[in-house]
């Protein structure tokens, strides 16, 4: 697995390159490209990141992050991004 240019800075979960909340738009594009051979693993890995980020951010700020915002940030974009990155005849993601 290659190292992303737009990787997360933990435990704060911002982008090491552009300092936006991670995954930033560039990180999302890098992740889709990185997981192009195994796209379903992207969702699994992002779910792991969601769990880790929730734990890290709750510990850091002593408040629980908004679960709806965290879901949108880490998982809400995955299916749509994978669908738009694959050719139409490549099958379904469901």
**Pair type for strands 14-15 and 8-9:** antiparallel
How far is it, in rounded angstroms, from Cα 1 to Cα 36? Answer: 12
Query: Residue 85: what pLDDT?
Result: 82
How far is it, in rounded angstroms, from Cα 8 to Cα 74? Answer: 12
Residue 10 has pLDDT above 80, yes or no: yes
Residues 50-86 pLDDT 10s: 999 999 999 999 889 999 999 999 999 999 999 988 7
The mean predicted confidence, pLDDT, of the chain is: 90
Query: Residue 21: what pLDDT?
Result: 98
Percent of the chain scored above 90 by pLDDT? Answer: 79
């Amino acid at each position: 697995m290659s190292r992303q240019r737009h990787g997360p800075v933990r435990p704060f979960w911002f982008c090491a390159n552009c300092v936006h909340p991670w995954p930033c738009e560039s990180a999302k594009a890098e992740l889709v490209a990185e997981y192009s051979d195994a796209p379903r693993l992207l969702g699994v890995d992002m779910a792991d990141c969601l769990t880790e980020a929730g734990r890290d951010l709750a510990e850091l700020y002593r408040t629980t992050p908004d679960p709806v915002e965290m879901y949108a940030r880490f998982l809400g974009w995955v299916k749509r991004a994978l669908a738009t990155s694959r050719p139409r005849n490549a099958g379904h993601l469901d």
